[in-house]
Amino acid sequence: MEKIASFTINHLTLKRGIFVSRKDRLPNGDIVTTFDIRMKEPNREPAAHQDALHTIEHLAATFLRNHPIWKNRVIYWGPMGCCTGNYLLLEGDLESKDIVELMKETFTFISEFEGDIPGANAHDCGNYTLNNLPMARWEASRFLNEVLNCIGEENLNYPND
């Protein structure tokens, strides 16, 4: 079997940041851009805990699908299985720099969120007890302050090696 593209990225040198993972052309000609929102340096720092990532998923998905400019272009937001970040799928032929401000808004929203987590109840979620708002806020604040607020080229492009 052929190795998929995401398994060809050198995770030993991958930094935290926003990366274009792939672009897919739909049968109608539209482009969908998949972003790697990498919150952790893979294999070099502890992964995020599933309960924090689950809360980030609920908050980010709710924020993005209600965003006044981007809501109609949001296809999906969800955590990576390796627990080092999230995937964001948006309609359009986009680059990492195009969504930096959107990610700043998203992670600010998460880092400052107070109250009930949207959809975190037995009716709306298949594992509603797997949530941790304080850790989600901490992870979001760390990513916002250490990466998004001082983002550079190394945080917008996959390593070339």
DSSP lists the bridge partners of residue 86 as 37, 79
Tell me, yes or no, whether 159 lies in a domain.
Answer: no
Strands 17-25 and 31-38 come out as antiparallel
Tell me, yes or no, whether 157 lies in a domain.
Answer: no
pLDDT of residue 116: 97
Tell me, yes or no, whether 65 lies in a domain.
Answer: yes
* Domain span at 54: 5-152
Roughly how many angstroms between the first and final C-alpha of the chain, as a whole number? 23
Helix (H) or strand (E) holding 6: none
Tell me, yes or no, whether 116 lies in a domain.
Answer: yes
pLDDT of residue 38: 98
d(CA 4, CA 141): 32
Tell me, yes or no, whether 137 lies in a domain.
Answer: yes
CATH code of the domain in which 38 resides:
3.30.1360.80
CB 126 within 8 A of CB 100: no
Total number of domains in the chain:
1
Tell me, yes or no, whether 136 lies in a domain.
Answer: yes
Predicted TM-score (pTM) of this structure = 0.95
CB 136 within 8 A of CB 59: yes
Q: What is the pLDDT of residues 6-45, one digit of tens each?
A: 888 889 999 999 999 999 999 999 999 999 999 999 999 9
Mean pLDDT, rounded, for 127-146: 98
| Virtual torsion, Cα 73, 27, 86, 136, nearest 10 deg | 40
Tell me, yes or no, whether 62 lies in a domain.
Answer: yes
Tell me, yes or no, whether 161 lies in a domain.
Answer: no
Q: What is the pLDDT of residues 68-107, one digit of tens each?
A: 999 999 999 999 999 999 999 999 999 999 999 999 999 9
d(CA 123, CA 118): 12
CA 40 to chain CA centroid, nearest Å: 11
